[in-house]
Structure 1
Amino acid sequence: MIDVPRLMVLRAAAARGSMAAAARQLRITPSAVSQQVAALERQVGAPLVERRTTGITLTAPGRRLVAAADTIAAELAKAERHVADIAAGDRGSLAVATFASAGQRLLPEAVSGLATDRPNAEVKVMEAEPHAAVPMVRRGEADLAVVYHFSTPRPPDDWGIGDTLRYVPLRRDPVRVVLPADHRLAHHGTVRLADLATEPWVQGWADVGEMLDHYAAVAGFRPRVACYASDYLFMQSVVAAGMGVALVPTVALATDSTTGPLSGLVARPVDPTPIRYVGAVHPTDRWRSPLTEELLTRLRATVAD
């Protein structure tokens, strides 16, 4: 492999026409320039310059190497500009993992603003529930994850926050009870969970299902489940069809742009009120692109309650 620093010394000597002029440009001694060029000649096994009292002239091998040096210098300058742009957030890529309702309601404004201000940056959004999104950040597959959890503002211990990950709270997302529009409690301002003890329920999976089980137990009953679902829109469609009632976070409520809740549904505050906490997770043990911090700033501005 040709020694690139020596190649750049040869390039400087060729551009200036003498060892002495190259030395002044490089701020080293003429002897050092001569030694570097001689070492490069030994490395490639061919004379690169013809030394004269008035300066130097490149040989054919020397001209070929200087042409290569020009190409290398141009590419290095281009790379330097790109690295500077990446460091400033003007270029580069940002991978974001998010749960579905945040991807539908919380991310779009922040991401679109980032794309407008940073047109040369690439933003990739991947759908993932928190149990998958947090490991994606830890493995470097995502730069940022928008996540949720229930019970307390503090994220779950098994996420490993504080080790190599940082959690940034974004908003509280109160859970509502979704009822058919003709339900006997549809006109109540707030619905007591205990008053729904005999109702059929549309229950979510994993943490969402556990949330219903927990609050139902506090209210003194065990839910009679008519349908299991992993998608909030599907859950609400089932409720609208009259198959049961459901607990749905406010951010995930299906709405019509003009009339509010979808036709056939009402969403009411519930007592006690479960809270879904929404936050962001990003790594602390590796370099973080300014794009990550900028998206976080935009999320705080557009998402915070």
Structure 2
Amino acid sequence: MLDVRKLRLLRELAHRETIAAVAESLNYTASAVSQQLSALEREAGVPLLERTGRRVRLTSAGRTLVDHAGTIFAVLEQAGADLAADHAALTGPLRIGVFPTANRAILAPALVALSTEHPRLELMVTELDPILAPGALRTEALDIALVQEYDYVPVDVDPALDTEPLLAEIIYLAALSPGALASHQRSQWVAGTPGTLCHTMTVRACQAAGFTPRIRHHADDFGTVLELVAAGQGVALVPELGARATPPAVALTPLPTQRRTHIAYRRGTGTHPAISAARTALHSVIRRSRSG
């Protein structure tokens, strides 16, 4: 019989592409990952990996097994959710991942509601860039997370996860005076750290307007971004949640593009009482915010 723990390693290899990355994500050594994958090949009775020098890729049999692994893990998660539903009260840890601008505006009031209604839940929050959240969910470092995508930066569907829409935000051009995006092709820009969704969104939105931005400053906190704009250090793209404390000197021009936030969790866990309670609390925050 195939070992579920080894299947998890194979699935992560399909996502992360190198044994070193799999080892880092799961706190294993690379040699331990290699040994476990070799053992899985022996259990399967067919080659699952093709090794060329230091590179490893999945064979067709390996990809087929990864597809089946997704179903297996979802069934196991659903079984755990069904068992948890028999408990009278919600207890134990609930690990939540959130990106910075959603922490204060969305998650904080949701945590108040969860703590009040379910005092025995052990709420554990990790702030991280949403590009890292899917991997943290797959490896069970997180149980539920807020993830996002921009019109110009669609996110690939992860078959290991279920998602549901939570919030859509306007994207603003932040500058010292109102104006069209195309008018700033010679301006200096402030953008997120390279590799983040915010940085990619800025580059692609400007390219769609016909130019590549000249990025002078990198900052991931939108409060810092807006202060840099107010100081005349450049212009920037800022989503609605990040623009709540805009300095008086900064003009915000709405653009025809959006940032969309989704709630994400592992397939099969959506009906788990703790996950369900968190989903309800998050949606309630958005409803109150919009009605207010």
Q: How do residues 32-181 of structure 1 correspond to structure 2 at under 5 angstroms? A: 87-151=87-151, 156-157=155-156, 159-160=157-158, 163-180=159-176
Does the 8 Å CA contact 2:167/2:286 hold for their aligned counterparts?
Answer: yes
Gaps of 5+ in 2: 1-82
**Equivalent in the alignment of 1:53:** none
Which residue, 249, 259, 263 being the options, matches 1:264? 249
- Deviation of the 1:129 alpha carbon: 1.3
User: Which residue type is aligned with residue 171 of structure 2?
Assistant: V
Q: Sort the Cα spacing of 1:236 and 1:88 in 2 relative to 1 into closer, same or farther, 3 A.
A: farther
Does the 8 Å CA contact 1:178/1:267 hold for their aligned counterparts?
Answer: yes
- Distance of 2:147 and 2:92 partners within structure 1: 23
> How many residues of Structure 1 are paired with residues of Structure 2 in the alignment?
204
User: Which residue type is aligned with residue 111 of structure 1?
Assistant: L
Deviation string for 1:210-236 (max 9, x for gaps)?
A: 212222122122212221222222211
- Distance of 2:212 and 2:85 partners within structure 1: 57
User: Which residue type is aligned with residue 93 of structure 2?
Assistant: S
- Distance of 2:276 and 2:199 partners within structure 1: 33
- Distance of 2:262 and 2:121 partners within structure 1: 23
- Distance of 1:146 and 1:152 partners within structure 2: 19
Q: What root-mean-square deviation, in Å, do the aligned CA atoms of Structure 1 and Structure 2 show? A: 2.4
**Equivalent in the alignment of 1:212:** 202
Q: Compute the TM-score of the two structures, normalised by the length of structure 1.
A: 0.61
Gaps of 5+ in 1: 1-82, 186-190, 256-260
- Distance of 1:128 and 1:86 partners within structure 2: 33
- Structure 2 residue 237 is matched with structure 1 residue 237: no
Does the 8 Å CA contact 1:89/1:290 hold for their aligned counterparts?
Answer: no
User: Which residue type is aligned with residue 133 of structure 2?
Assistant: A
Q: Compute the TM-score of the two structures, normalised by the length of structure 2.
A: 0.63
Does the 8 Å CA contact 2:190/2:217 hold for their aligned counterparts?
Answer: yes
Q: Sort the Cα spacing of 1:281 and 1:89 in 2 relative to 1 into closer, same or farther, 3 A.
A: farther
Deviation string for 1:199-219 (max 9, x for gaps)?
A: 211122332122122221221
Q: Sort the Cα spacing of 1:179 and 1:152 in 2 relative to 1 into closer, same or farther, 3 A.
A: closer
- Deviation of the 1:288 alpha carbon: 5.7
Q: Sort the Cα spacing of 1:283 and 1:88 in 2 relative to 1 into closer, same or farther, 3 A.
A: farther
- Deviation of the 1:250 alpha carbon: 0.5
User: Which residue type is aligned with residue 98 of structure 2?
Assistant: T
- Deviation of the 1:170 alpha carbon: 0.6
- Distance of 2:141 and 2:199 partners within structure 1: 28
- Distance of 1:84 and 1:200 partners within structure 2: 53
Which aligned runs of 4 or more in structure 1 are off by greater than 4 angstroms? 83-86, 285-288
Q: Sort the Cα spacing of 1:226 and 1:99 in 2 relative to 1 into closer, same or farther, 3 A.
A: same
- Distance of 1:110 and 1:287 partners within structure 2: 17
User: Which residue type is aligned with residue 292 of structure 1?
Assistant: I
- Distance of 1:92 and 1:202 partners within structure 2: 42
User: Which residue type is aligned with residue 144 of structure 1?
Assistant: I
User: Which residue type is aligned with residue 299 of structure 1?
Assistant: L
The alignment-based identity, stated in percent, is 26
Deviation string for 1:153-209 (max 9, x for gaps)?
A: 9x622x51xx331011111111111123xx3x3xxxxx3211222221112233212
Deviation string for 1:45-79 (max 9, x for gaps)?
A: xxxxxxxxxxxxxxxxxxxxxxxxxxxxxxxxxxx
Q: Sort the Cα spacing of 1:177 and 1:148 in 2 relative to 1 into closer, same or farther, 3 A.
A: same
